[in-house]
Every structure is written in structure tokens, then in C-alpha cells.
């Protein structure tokens, strides 16, 4: 299971505080949780999306990670450290590679996921032309391609998320897989270059605890907000006044005037949480 952070701010910043310096920074989370299967950072310089990814352990490339983070100046950033899921039962070496590291991107879209999709091959068969977005063997990339397909069909991220969640249940029902659920978690941090979205949605791991402070459920995203910045993370990175998202909630944040505004939405989902 992975860890991830998204940041939206009123002006360009470097993300050292949340990715490196904090007591429970993303780097610390990776070390404590053994997220050793790749890492990546995506960010926007104006309208230009830049992404750096590595297939290696972030804590074994700590100096490279710190150097890259210190050079970033952006008001929209998503970072991810990976602990590979393996629903296909592949040999471990096949799971590791730059094409399997996150965040994934397409056009102006940037995406990070924490969880497992248990029916990746069945989902791929529904993607049509969007099948070409799947470059590796990471089931999260299949989720990304499915989400982009629904987003471009509907023109609305909220409707796309709801369609993907319901679609996964339908695909499972129509498949030969005998599984009780199609995914463990759909936790996602996503950006279209203007807004930052964060989805908290999980069916498993409710007894697992956050890595650093052990004070929340593992999959329950936390966020910190003041007028100038919103940070959403797999878990809080410090002792500031973070809030927890509830299961089934979507956070939407964007720049309005000279401040960051956000709202929390309860989604229309085809399941009991």
C-alpha cells in the first residue's frame, strides 16, 4: 500500500516541508512503511506539467529526492511513494519499473492512487481506445485509464469518479472472478491543472493504522488548510491542525481570487460504507 501527498497553494512554493522536513513527511512515511517500489513527483509550472519518476526506493535515493524537491517551485504538486500491489500474482521483479511508478499523467491530468484494483484485466477490456494509456502492469494505471475515459466522456470529475466506482462493481459482477469486492481502496489525489481533487474511499484495511502517529485508519486521508494552502496526505505530516476525511468523501480545492477555497462532497456510491 502506497503513500501520497497533494498540495495546492496561492503562489508557487517548494514542498520541502511536507515531502522531506516534517516529522511524518512523505520521505519518513516511505521509510517507516517500507514503500520501496518506486516514487514520483508531478507539478505544474504555469500550464506546463512536469513529472519525475523513479523505480527505486525513495529512501535509497534520498539525496536525489531532496535535490529535486528543493528545485520545485509550483502551486500544484502531487507526490507518491509506492508499495506495489499485485492482483495478478506476478513475480516481484515484473512489478518494478519506471512505467509502473506514480504519479501517472495524460494531457494536463495528474493522478496518484493508494489501493489495489483486483480485476485489472477485466477493466482493460472495457477501455476501448483508452487501453493505450496502460503502459505497465500496475493495476493503479488501469484505474487511471478508466477514470480518464469516464472524465472525457462526462466532462465532470465528480460524475467520472461515481461512474468508475459503480462500473467496477458491474465489471466484477459480469466477470468470472469470485471476489467479494473489485478493489481495496480507490483513494486518489488528482489534478487537471486548475483544481486539486482528493478521494477517500476504501473497503478494506479498516483495522490498519496510519504509519507515523497510529491515530487514524490507514486509508483515511487527512488535510491541512489555511487561506494560502491546502495539503492533503495519506496521513498528517506534523502536529498542525489537520482534519480527517470521512470514507466516501471527495475534496475539491481551487484558487479563487487570492485564497484557496475548498469543499467536501459526499459521493453517490453504489455500496454501503
CATH of the domain at 147: 3.60.20.10
Percent of the chain with pLDDT over 90: 95
Report the distance separating Cα 73 and Cα 76, nearest Å: 9
What are the cell numbers at 118?
A: 483486483
User: Which residues on neighbouring strands pair with residue 50, listed in sequence order?
Assistant: 43
What beta strand segments (E) does 121-248 contain?
187-191, 195-200, 222-226, 229-233, 243-244
Cβ contact 250:199 at 8 Å: yes
In a domain, 33, yes or no: yes
Mean pLDDT score, 140-153: 98
In a domain, 271, yes or no: no
Mean pLDDT of the chain: 96
* 272 part of a folded domain: no
Q: Could you tell me which of 90, 149, 83, 78 has the C-alpha nearest to residue 114?
A: 83
pLDDT, position 270: 65
Residue 158 domain-assigned? Answer: yes
Grid coordinates representing 273 are 460504507
Q: Quote the number of domains for the chain.
A: 1
* Statement: residue 272 has pLDDT above 90: no
Is 51 within a domain?
A: yes
Torsion (CA) 137, 142, 143, 146 in degrees, nearest 10: 170
- Report the percent of the chain where pLDDT is more than 70: 99
**Structural domain contains residue 104:** yes
Residues in contact with 174: Cβ distance below 8 Å, sequence separation at least 6, in sequence order: none
Helix, strand, coil in percent for the chain, rounding step 5: 30, 30, 40
Mean pLDDT for 65-70 is 97
3-class DSSP state of 173? helix
Q: Which helix (H) or strand (E) holds 10?
A: strand 3-13
Indicate the helix (H) or strand (E) that contains 113: strand 109-114
Show the DSSP H helices in 115-269 as ranges.
120-124, 139-154, 157-173
Host domain of residue 40? 3-266
**Predicted confidence (pLDDT) per residue in 152-192, tens digit:** 999 999 999 999 999 999 999 999 888 999 999 999 999 99
Residue with the bigger pLDDT between 94 and 269: it is 94
Instruction: Name the residue with cell 489534478.
Output: 191
Q: Is 7 helix (H, G, I), strand (E, B) or coil?
A: strand
Mean pLDDT of 192-202: 97
Q: Count the residues in the chain.
A: 273
Judge whether 144 lies within some domain: yes
| Set of cell numbers at residue 151 | 472524465
Evaluate whether residue 273 is within a structural domain: no
The pLDDT-based confidence of 38 (bands split at 50, 70, 90) is very high
Is 147 a residue whose pLDDT tops 90? Answer: yes
Strand order in the sheet with 104-106: 104-106, 109-114, 187-191, 195-200, 249-256, 259-266
Amino acid at each position: 500500500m502506497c503513500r501520497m501527498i497533494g498540495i495546492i497553494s496561492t503562489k508557487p512554493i517548494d514542498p520541502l516541508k511536507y515531502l522531506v522536513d516534517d516529522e511524518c513527511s512523505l520521505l519518513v512515511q516511505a521509510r517507516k512503511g517500507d514503500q520501496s517500489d518506486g516514487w514520483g513527483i508531478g507539478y505544474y509550472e504555469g500550464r506546463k506539467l512536469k513529472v519525475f519518476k523513479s523505480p527505486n526506493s525513495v529512501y535509497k535515493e534520498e539525496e536525489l529526492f531532496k535535490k529535486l524537491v528543493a528545485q520545485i517551485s509550483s502551486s500544484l504538486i502531487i507526490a507518491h511513494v509506492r508499495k506495489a500491489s499485485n492482483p495478478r500474482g506476478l513475480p516481484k521483479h515484473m512489478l518494478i519499473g519506471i512505467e509502473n511508478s506514480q504519479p501517472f499523467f495524460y494531457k494536463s491530468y495528474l493522478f496518484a492512487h493508494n489501493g489495489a484494483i483486483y480485476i485489472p484485466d477485466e477493466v482493460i477490456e472495457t477501455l476501448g481506445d483508452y487501453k493505450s494509456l496502460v503502459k505497465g502492469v500496475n493495476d493503479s494505471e488501469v484505474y487511471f485509464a478508466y477514470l480518464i475515459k469516464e472524465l472525457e466522456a462526462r466532462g465532470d470529475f465528480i460524475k467520472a469518479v461515481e461512474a468508475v466506482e459503480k462500473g467496477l462493481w458491474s465489471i466484477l459482477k459480469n466477470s468470472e472472478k469470485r471476489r467479494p469486492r473489485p478493489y481495496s481502496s480507490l483513494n486518489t489525489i488528482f489534478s487537471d491543472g486548475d483544481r486539486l481533487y482528493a478521494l477517500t474511499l476504501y473497503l478494506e484495511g479498516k483495522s490498519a493504522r496510519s504509519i507515523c502517529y497510529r491515530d487514524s485508519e490507514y486509508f483515511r486521508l487527512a488535510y491541512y488548510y489555511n487561506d494560502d494552502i491546502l495539503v492533503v496526505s495519506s496521513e498528517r505530516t506534523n502536529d498542525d491542525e489537520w482534519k480527517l476525511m470521512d470514507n466516501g468523501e471527495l475534496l475539491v480545492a481551487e484558487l479563487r481570487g487570492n485564497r484557496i477555497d475548498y469543499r467536501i462532497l459526499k459521493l453517490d456510491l453504489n455500496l454501503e460504507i
